[in-house]
Amino acid sequence: MYRNVKTAELVSLKIDGTEISVPPDTSVIEAAEAVGVLVPRYCYHPGIPTRPAQCRVCLVEIEGQPKLQPSCKMSVQEGMVVHTASEEARSARRSVIELLLVNHPLDCPICDAAGQCMLQDYAFETHQLASRLNEEKLVMGRDRIADDILYFADRCIICTRCVRFMREVAEDDALIVAQRGYRAYIDTFPGRVLDNPFRGNIVDVCPVGALVHEDFLFKARFWDLDQTASVCPGCSTGCNVTIDTKENQIVRLKPRHNSEVNSYWMCDHGRKHLIMSNRGLRPEAPLLRRNGKLVPTGWGDALTWVAERLREVPSGMAIVSPHAANESLFYFRRLLDRIGIAGGTFRVERGEEAILSGFPKLQLRADRAPNASGAELHGFERFDGSARSDPEGDAVAVLEDPLAELPEEWGRQASFFLYVGNRLSSAARNAHAILPVTTFAEMEGTFTNFEGRVQRFHQALQPAGLARPAWLVLARLVSLLEDDGDGGAAAPTLASEAFQVMVGDTPAMAGLEWASVGLKGARLGSTEAAVLQAQAPVEGA
Amino acid sequence: MAYPYRDDRETTTLLSRYMGEPEARTLDGWLERGGYEALGMALEMKPDEITEIVKESGLRGRGGAGFPTGMKWGFMPKENGREHYLCCNADESEPGAFKDREIMRWTPHLMIEGCLIAARAIRAEHVYIYIRGEFFPVVRVLNQAVVEAYEAGYIGRSVLGSGWSCDITVHLGAGAYIAGEETGLMSWLMGGRAEPWMKPPFPAARGIFGAPTTVNNVETLASVPGIVANGSAWYRQWGSDKSSGTKLWCCSGHLVKPGNYELELGVPLSEIIYDVCGGAPDGRRVRAVIPGGSSTALLTADELDCETTYEGMQAAGSALGTASPIVMDESTCLLSAMRRIAQFYAHESCGQCVQCREGTEWIAKILRRIEDGDGAMKDIDTLYDLCEQLTGRTICVLADSVVFPLRSSLDKFRDEYESHIQQDACTAT
């Protein structure tokens, strides 16, 4: 916000007794945030351009102004003195909340937004625990506003954030305010359907429980959710997200602000995609083929056995997944180098693209995987064929690719078939050894997005059974293979260690630090990013 | 015979002179009556000279707020870098007002001439007449006049060969009180909902289509040709120093002779109600008057001696507004009247600001409950408190508009409320 602004161009003002200097086009509400004062807001949203100043909850006192002024609309001025909590400002705020509650159903016990509702918050903040209302409330009912989004008109406070998001950010005028005054409600324009691929954001911008995802409806109370900072694996954009989990299940994804990647938004494909990952059959213990049968084993035995077998591998092929973390791909490459398998391919699922017009950087990209760039960086090649050929008598090593589209007998003839993954498809069951690894949601690590931005994700779920992060398993294997009686090099035990080893050994990643990648990510050196972009496939190729 | 109830008294009739004469509607009839002479004179002048004359005349906006017209025009940028617009506000949505309708119905060319002169003064080349959609017969008359004026070269390319072009578009509303608010009107003209916006930006800086715009009321514009033709001193012979000229009074309610009367500003309100309109019918007494359209504070029968100027009405604790007194005699239940007014504003609130959207409706509900006999004394406190909350905290003044009559009725007719609450009985006879 303050970058590239010379001190001389700053405007100084005083907010609640604190002096601050900010750029001249800053609004009072933003300047107040900078001094740590959160002025209540409904219609104002930092990601939506227009500021109608209609909710009137952000009214503040500005010395010299005859009336209270909406702080979202007022630009700072030199010498301005603002009081956000004066007697009059507080009284106005209190009255807005009281009036909003006049026709509000107060159905918090069954409302999905309870616990993260700005109406609830401000009602408590302004101590409105009793009502003066003695009249019947207006009942408006609810509506299905999109395929997957419900609209509870009674809870709606007509802040119009949803309408303005659609109109100004998604540039789709499917949503409107219908009727006027106390009868106003949000609706789709007659004859229009709200099917925009970014429509889910209207639920996020809703400050109350008026817009609710049907997927999430009555699923969880907000206070029962655990929230983890992560990266959306739905496509190569790598939107920053928060994964909300309950009882070790992902219940929803919410976008997490990152002005370099996704602003405040994400697409609907991303939201739905990950919830599906709760499903599917997971291997929960290492499985080794003994006498033709897969037998569960402990990790120690399994790794020793696999290391022994790998020493005998003469040649073979490798398959990886663009869903694997950078660290896993790095150690897989090390393992392949060690056993003498060169190359390796990955398959990326492709889909239709969509662009968020108001923030064009955010696109649902054709590559429906988070780390194709990472796989390329570690020397794996894109596989565009329809079906992979059978390894026949060769050896084959697979990292996280579910092999779902392959025939049942695929790999049965292989001299050695190592499957390091987290899904048990019928082809995967032909492996000689199945080493269960975590999904990205069950581990820490990094992805590299389409433009070479390395972004960290955190562990949101407990791993399934004995599953361990792939980099941990692979690093141990490498270390066993390197063991010439002296125990081999120590394998990393923390994601941060694995990351630093990878950075040290990957020239393209030089300079990256685990800590500085932080929650917002960091770009690879610009030349490398340019190379990656040049390698990105052309649509239709 | 003159237009309804013209009084025999010596009154000045600048605006209503030809009301009731169907020939005045046509271009020929209008030219016979001296029409478009002022336009010819205006075309000889520089835009700023016109503005100066209007400024000196002391003409104030007739739409309710009473802002000096010349000063408003003076806010328009002088350079010609961007197109300018004039909007003629013919929404006339204030309950009680019916003056603009009559001007357009009888003398459409007067208004068109006023629009053209004003457009010239503010360097606009396009005038939008935003007219209330319900005024259907009036629209027909107005459209006819616009067509005639176009054909005769008063509107269009190079008006009267002066080299200055001006177009007029008549735009029909779809029935919203708030479209009569200037920013609401502009939102609507641009194809949006009639929702007022926060000023700044002021219309003179950024109005319709992002261009400098002036919004004037029909009656204001209709006053302009006379001023330009006869000079500012001529106009100043009527009215007071701060409120010059004449004004149409739309008198309605319990009156023997309700109707439109054009009177010099400053005539005592009591004279208008008793002498001009004949007071309440059947010998009943006047109980209360809402003097300036439904959004002004009401006056009791004892307070009617006030001078009907902008400043005089303000001194009396009310406002001149649109000069549309609604007279209520002793048979009127004021609680009922206030409930109806509150209902109107609740219905017409655009719904942006919370205070207005929810507050007006709540007030209407409380008043309805008291009317139904379920009131409590604490309701009066709640109503006072709501008046406080609805004042000065919203984008436009619609919320304030319900507060003025309500608070004044609570102050002046508290007995009415108490009687309904305590005895479930009305004080009206």
Cβ of B355 and A95 within 8 Å?
A: yes
* CA quadruple A256, A261, A264, A270: dihedral sign: negative
Q: Are the beta carbons of A41 and A60 closer than 8 angstroms?
A: no
Residue B7 lies in a domain: no
Number of domains in chain A: 3
Predicted local confidence at residue A488, as pLDDT: 63
Nearest CA in chain B to A101: B358
* Residue A427, domain extent: 287-535
Partner residue facing B350 (CB), from A68, A134, A181: A181
Residue A179 to residue B351: CA distance in whole angstroms: 9
* Helix or strand (DSSP H, E) at A70: strand A69-70
Partner residue facing B357 (CB), from A133, A135, A181: A181
Cβ of B357 and A96 within 8 Å?
A: no
Nearest to B195 by CA among B48, B327, B74, B352: B352
Last residue of a domain, one of A93, A124, A157: A93
Nearest CA in chain A to B362: A102
Q: What is the helix, strand, coil percentage profile of chain A, to 5?
A: 25, 20, 50
Residue A255 lies in a domain: no
Q: What are A's interface residues with B at a Cβ cutoff of 8 A?
A: 52-57, 59, 67-68, 70, 73, 91-92, 95-96, 99-100, 102-103, 132-136, 138, 157-158, 177, 179-184
Residues A216 and A149 grouped into a single domain: yes
| CATH at A12 | 3.10.20.740
Last residue of a domain, one of A171, A197, A224: A224
Residues B152 and B250 grouped into a single domain: no
- pLDDT, tens digit (0-9, with 9 covering 90-100), for A407-447: 999 999 999 999 999 999 999 999 999 999 999 999 999 99
| CATH at B129 | 3.40.50.11540
* CA quadruple A390, A393, A394, A399: dihedral sign: positive
Residue A474 to residue A376: CA distance in whole angstroms: 19
State the pairing for strand pair A81-83/A445-448. unpaired
Give me the helix-helix angle, A326-339 and A495-505, nearest 10°. Answer: 60
The minimum CA-CA distance between B381 and chain A, rounded to whole Å, is 11
pTM of structure? 0.92
Cis peptide before A24 (omega within 30 of 0): no
Nearest to B284 by CA among B255, B257, B251: B255
Residues B121 and B99 grouped into a single domain: yes
Residue B284 lies in a domain: yes
Q: Across the strands, what pairs with A288?
A: A295, A433
Cβ of B355 and A67 within 8 Å?
A: no
pLDDT in tens, chain A (541 residues): 445 555 668 999 999 999 999 999 999 999 999 999 999 999 999 999 999 999 999 999 999 999 999 999 999 999 999 999 999 999 999 999 999 999 999 999 999 999 999 999 999 998 888 889 999 999 999 999 999 999 999 999 999 999 999 999 999 999 999 999 999 999 999 999 999 999 999 999 999 999 999 999 999 999 999 999 999 999 999 999 999 999 999 999 999 999 999 999 999 999 998 777 667 789 999 999 999 999 999 999 999 999 999 998 878 999 999 999 999 999 999 999 999 999 999 999 999 999 999 999 999 999 999 999 999 999 999 998 877 888 888 999 999 999 988 999 999 999 999 999 999 999 999 999 999 999 999 999 999 999 999 999 999 999 999 999 999 999 999 999 987 766 667 889 999 999 999 999 999 999 999 998 989 999 997 444 444 444 444 443 3
Residues B216 and B273 grouped into a single domain: no
| CATH at B322 | 3.10.20.600
Residues B253 and B164 grouped into a single domain: no
3-state DSSP assignment of residue A442:
helix
Cβ of B351 and A95 within 8 Å?
A: no
Q: Are the beta carbons of B295 and B311 closer than 8 angstroms?
A: no
Residues A204 and A324 grouped into a single domain: no
Predicted local confidence at residue A527, as pLDDT: 44
| CATH at B384 | 1.20.1440.230
Residues B325 and B341 grouped into a single domain: no
Q: Which residues of B touch A157 (CB under 8 A)?
A: 354
| Burial status of residue A300 (CB atoms within 10 A of its CB: 0-12, 13-18, 19 or more) | exposed
Sorted by sequence, the CB contacts under 8 Å of residue A144 that are 6+ apart come out as A150, A151
Nearest CA in chain A to B193: A177
Residues A439 and A315 grouped into a single domain: yes
Residues A65 and A181 grouped into a single domain: no
Sorted by sequence, the CB contacts under 8 Å of residue A526 that are 6+ apart come out as none
Secondary structure, 3-state, B235-255: HHCCECCCCECEEEEEEEECC
| CATH at A156 | 3.30.70.20
Cβ of A134 and B361 within 8 Å?
A: no
Cα angle B53, B59, B61 (rounded to 5 degrees) comes to 130
Predicted local confidence at residue B90, as pLDDT: 96
Q: Which residues of B touch A54 (CB under 8 A)?
A: 352-354, 395
Q: Are the beta carbons of B251 and B278 closer than 8 angstroms?
A: no
3-state DSSP assignment of residue A46:
coil
Partner residue facing A99 (CB), from B198, B346, B358: B358
Q: How far from each other are the two terminal CA atoms of chain B, in whole angstroms?
A: 38
Enter the tokens of residue A4.
Answer: 């590239």
Burial annotation B228-237 (CB, 10 A radius, 16+ → b, else e): bbbebeebbe
The minimum CA-CA distance between B132 and chain A, rounded to whole Å, is 18
Residues B26 and B75 grouped into a single domain: yes
Chains A–B, number of C-beta pairs less than 8 Å apart:
93
Predicted local confidence at residue A328, as pLDDT: 97
Q: What are B's interface residues with A at a Cβ cutoff of 8 A?
A: 176, 178, 193, 195, 197-198, 346-362, 365-366, 369, 376, 379, 382, 389, 392-395
Cβ of A96 and B376 within 8 Å?
A: no
Residues B211 and B259 grouped into a single domain: no
Cβ of A56 and B393 within 8 Å?
A: yes
Predicted local confidence at residue B269, as pLDDT: 95
Nearest CA in chain A to B345: A181
Residues A145 and A63 grouped into a single domain: no
Residues A297 and A206 grouped into a single domain: no
Residue A244 lies in a domain: no
Q: Which residues of B touch A50 (CB under 8 A)?
A: none
* Helix or strand (DSSP H, E) at A504: helix A495-505
Cβ of B354 and A182 within 8 Å?
A: no
CB neighbours of residue A337 within 10 Å:
12
Cβ of A52 and B358 within 8 Å?
A: no
Predicted local confidence at residue A1, as pLDDT: 45
Residue with tokens 């010596």: B10
Residue A79 lies in a domain: yes
Q: Are the beta carbons of B104 and B77 closer than 8 angstroms?
A: no
Cβ of A99 and B355 within 8 Å?
A: yes
Burial annotation A56-86 (CB, 10 A radius, 16+ → b, else e): bbbbbbbeeeeebbbbbbbebeeebebbbeb
List, edge to edge, every strand of the sheet that includes A211-213.
A142-146, A149-152, A211-213
Residue A218 lies in a domain: yes
Enter the tokens of residue A512.
Answer: 């990256």
Residues A77 and A189 grouped into a single domain: no
The minimum CA-CA distance between A175 and chain B, rounded to whole Å, is 13
Residue A153 to residue A507: CA distance in whole angstroms: 56
Residue B14 lies in a domain: no
Residues A296 and A220 grouped into a single domain: no
Residues A140 and A75 grouped into a single domain: no
Nearest CA in chain B to A186: B351
Cβ of A102 and B389 within 8 Å?
A: no
Predicted local confidence at residue A378, as pLDDT: 96
Cβ of B369 and A134 within 8 Å?
A: yes
pLDDT in tens, chain B (429 residues): 234 444 544 456 789 888 888 999 999 999 999 999 999 999 999 999 999 999 999 999 999 989 999 999 999 999 767 899 999 999 999 999 999 999 999 999 999 999 999 999 999 999 999 999 999 999 999 999 999 999 999 999 999 999 999 999 999 998 899 999 999 999 999 999 999 999 889 999 999 999 999 999 999 999 999 999 999 999 999 999 999 999 999 999 999 999 999 988 999 999 999 999 999 999 999 999 999 999 999 999 999 999 999 999 999 999 999 999 999 999 999 999 999 999 999 999 999 999 999 999 999 999 999 999 999 999 999 999 999 999 999 999 999 999 999 999 999 999 999 999 999 999 888
DSSP state of A135: S
Cβ of A134 and B366 within 8 Å?
A: yes
State the pairing for strand pair B85-90/B126-131. parallel
Residue with tokens 């309904």: B420
Last residue of a domain, one of B295, B329, B363: B329
Residues A24 and A164 grouped into a single domain: no
Query: CA A36, A42, A46, A51: dihedral to nearest 10 degrees?
Result: -120
State the pairing for strand pair A445-448/A453-457. antiparallel
- pLDDT, tens digit (0-9, with 9 covering 90-100), for A58-75: 999 999 999 999 999 999
Cβ of A182 and B349 within 8 Å?
A: yes
Nearest CA in chain B to A95: B389
Q: Which residues of A touch B366 (CB under 8 A)?
A: 134-135
* Helix or strand (DSSP H, E) at A304: helix A299-311
Q: Which residues of A touch B395 (CB under 8 A)?
A: 53-54
Q: Which residues of B touch A68 (CB under 8 A)?
A: 392-393
Cβ of B350 and A73 within 8 Å?
A: no
Residues A208 and A322 grouped into a single domain: no
Q: Which residues of B touch A177 (CB under 8 A)?
A: 193, 351
Predicted local confidence at residue B279, as pLDDT: 95
Cβ of A135 and B366 within 8 Å?
A: yes
Residues B262 and B141 grouped into a single domain: no
Number of domains in chain B: 3
Residue A428 lies in a domain: yes
Chain A interface disruption, residue of B181, B339, B358, B370, most A CBs within 10 A? B358
Residues B308 and B346 grouped into a single domain: no
- pLDDT, tens digit (0-9, with 9 covering 90-100), for A257-297: 999 999 999 999 999 987 776 677 899 999 999 999 999 99
The minimum CA-CA distance between B399 and chain A, rounded to whole Å, is 11
* Phi and psi, residue A3, nearest 5°: -65, 150
Cβ of A182 and B352 within 8 Å?
A: no
Nearest CA in chain B to A66: B392
Residues B230 and B360 grouped into a single domain: no
Residue A125 lies in a domain: no
Residue A13 to residue A486: CA distance in whole angstroms: 67
Enter the tokens of residue B98.
Answer: 């019916």
Residue A51 to residue A101: CA distance in whole angstroms: 23
Residue A472 lies in a domain: yes
The minimum CA-CA distance between B365 and chain A, rounded to whole Å, is 7
Residues A197 and A79 grouped into a single domain: no
State the pairing for strand pair A226-231/A240-246. antiparallel
Distances (CA, A) of A370 to A318, A326, A364, A419, A534: 20, 10, 11, 21, 18
Sorted by sequence, the CB contacts under 8 Å of residue B33 that are 6+ apart come out as B18, B24
Nearest CA in chain B to A185: B351
Secondary structure, 3-state, chain B: CCCCCCCCCCCCCCCCCCCCCHHHHCHHHHHHCCCCHHHHHHHHCCHHHHHHHHHHHCCECCCCCCCEHHHHHHCCCCCCCCCCEEEEEECCCCCCCCHHHHHHHHCHHHHHHHHHHHHHHCCCCEEEEEECCCCHHHHHHHHHHHHHHHHCCCCECCHHHCCCCEEEEEEECCCCHHHHCHHHHHHHHCCCCCCCCCCCCCCCCCCHHHCCEEEEEHHHHHHHHHHHHHCHHHHHCCECCCCECEEEEEEEECCCCCEEEEEECCCEHHHHHHHHCCCCHHHCCEEEEEECECCCCCEEHHHCCCECCHHHHHHCCCCCCCCCCEEEECCCCHHHHHHHHHHHHHHHCCCCCHHHHHHHHHHHHHHHHHHCCCCCCHHHHHHHHHHHHHCCCCCCCHHHHHHHHHHHHHHHCHHHHHHHHHHCCCCCC
Q: Are the beta carbons of B130 and B284 closer than 8 angstroms?
A: no
Chain A interface disruption, residue of B190, B343, B352, B402, most A CBs within 10 A? B352
The minimum CA-CA distance between A106 and chain B, rounded to whole Å, is 16
Last residue of a domain, one of B303, B329, B355: B329
Cα angle A117, A118, A120 (rounded to 5 degrees) comes to 65
Distances (CA, A) of A26 to A60, A61, A86, B197: 16, 17, 22, 20
Partner residue facing B354 (CB), from A55, A133, A177: A55
Nearest to B97 by CA among B309, B319, B291: B291
> Residue A106 carries which side chain, given as an amino acid letter?
L
Q: Which residues of A touch B183 (CB under 8 A)?
A: none
Partner residue facing B358 (CB), from A67, A100, A132: A100
* Phi and psi, residue A396, nearest 5°: -145, 135
> Residue A52 carries which side chain, given as an amino acid letter?
P
Residue A249 lies in a domain: no
Enter the tokens of residue B333.
Answer: 């239940």
Q: Are the beta carbons of A40 and A118 closer than 8 angstroms?
A: yes
Last residue of a domain, one of A209, A224, A239: A224
Q: Which residues of A touch B174 (CB under 8 A)?
A: none
Nearest CA in chain A to B361: A182
Predicted local confidence at residue B3, as pLDDT: 42
Q: Which residues of B touch A74 (CB under 8 A)?
A: none
Predicted local confidence at residue B243, as pLDDT: 95
* Residue B177, domain extent: 22-236
Residue A443 to residue A66: CA distance in whole angstroms: 57
Burial annotation A384-409 (CB, 10 A radius, 16+ → b, else e): eeeebebbeebbbbbbbbbbeebeee
Enter the tokens of residue B136.
Answer: 């259907």
Last residue of a domain, one of B207, B236, B265: B236
